[in-house]
Each structure stands twice: as C-alpha cells, then as structure tokens.
C-alpha cells in the first residue's frame, strides 16, 4: 500500500488564525487540535463561514481559543490579519484568494489548502493540477497545502 501523499498544514507556532468556508471547515478541527498540542502557548482562533446554517459549533468552540462564526456573510470580513503570525485556510478558492490579498503587507504568513477535484490521488492523472509560481503542481501530491503566495501570485 502506498500513501498518503501530499502535505498538510505546517506545525507553526505563535498566534494562528484558521479560516474555513463551507466544506473547508473540515480540516481545521484537527489542525487546531494539533497546533494547540505541539505548543501550549499557541493561540489558535477559528473563523468559520457558512452560507446558510452553522454546524458543529460546540466542537469547534472547544478546539479554539476564540471561535468566530459568520452565517450568510463573508468570514474574511471578520478577521484582522495584523493580529496573527499565521493564517491557515481552506474553502472556496475565491475566499482564500481574497483572504490572501487581505493579508498581503501584514506579518501574517498565509497557507492555503486547495480543494481541487482529484482523480487518482497519487499524482498520475493530473486532474488536480494547479498553476503556481513554480509551474504546475499536483494538488494531491505536491499539496494540498501551499503558501498563499505560491498559488495566488501566478502571472
């Protein structure tokens, strides 16, 4: 058996914002648990955006130092990137791109978890390819987590 392939969120330290939209909230729960366990001084705030109904509120509240939930609006409006050392995000590409743009010029280093469709999951079929500043990358094998600048600074 082979796998899993790819790279998850880095084990960063400091004040961290986890920002998710829709199905992109899923990896943030585990990421928060890991980040809080590797360093008890880490501060992990979670920002969740939903279009209709918020789910799993209590679970995420227990996994965060602060939980921010936005239903029907734009979760990136609720975050001040100047407050964070790192912003880790997963969700719709447009949300992550707008968040990256909002963080430019601040100290916050942004990591994005891409949600491209994947066929084989081992890097053979190229269905999940995305453009980066270093050429095309396979989300399933080279990602799904990339530096925001690597994905959103493509010319």
What confidence tens digit (pLDDT) does each residue in 111-151 have? 999 999 988 888 899 999 999 999 999 999 999 999 999 99
User: What DSSP character marks residue 54?
Assistant: -
What confidence tens digit (pLDDT) does each residue in 4-44 have? 678 999 999 999 999 999 999 999 999 999 999 999 999 99
Provide the pLDDT for residue 106.
97
Long-range contacts of 101-110 (CB under 8 A, 24+ apart): 101/152, 102/76, 103/148, 106/81, 106/82, 107/82, 108/17, 108/81, 108/82, 108/84, 109/12, 109/85, 109/147, 110/86, 110/147, 110/148, 110/149
Q: Is pLDDT of 1 > 80?
A: no
* Extents of the domains making up the chain: 15-113, 116-143
What confidence tens digit (pLDDT) does each residue in 54-105 have? 999 999 999 999 999 999 999 999 999 999 999 999 999 999 999 999 999 9
Question: 124: how many CB neighbours lie within 10 A of its CB?
Answer: 11
CATH class of 15-113: alpha beta
Question: 38: how many CB neighbours lie within 10 A of its CB?
Answer: 11
- Using alpha carbons, select from 98, 24, 18 the residue that is nearest to residue 64: 18
Q: Is pLDDT of 53 > 90?
A: yes
What confidence tens digit (pLDDT) does each residue in 19-30 have? 999 999 999 999
Provide the pLDDT for residue 103.
98
Provide the pLDDT for residue 5.
78
Query: Which H, E and C letters describe 55-123, residue by residue?
Result: CCHHHHHHHCCEEEEEECCCHHHHCCHHHCCEEEEECCHHHHHHHHHHHCCCCCEEEEECCCCCCCCCC
Question: 13: how many CB neighbours lie within 10 A of its CB?
Answer: 13
């Amino acid at each position: 058996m082979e796998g899993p392939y790819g790279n998850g969120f880095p084990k960063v330290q400091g004040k961290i914002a986890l920002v998710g939209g829709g199905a992109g909230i899923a990896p943030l729960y585990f990421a928060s648990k890991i980040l809080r366990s590797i360093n008890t001084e880490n501060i992990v705030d979670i920002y969740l955006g939903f279009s209709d109904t918020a789910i799993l509120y209590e679970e995420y509240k227990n996994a965060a130092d602060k939980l921010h939930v936005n239903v029907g609006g734009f979760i990136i409006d609720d975050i001040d990137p100047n407050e964070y050392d790192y912003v880790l995000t997963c969700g719709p590409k447009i949300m992550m791109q707008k968040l990256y743009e909002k963080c430019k010029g601040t100290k916050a280093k942004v990591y994005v978890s891409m949600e491209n469709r994947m066929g084989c999951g081992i890097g053979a079929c190229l269905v999940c390819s995305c453009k980066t500043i270093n050429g095309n990358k396979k989300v399933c094998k080279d990602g799904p987590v990339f530096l925001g600048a690597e994905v959103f600074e493509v010319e």
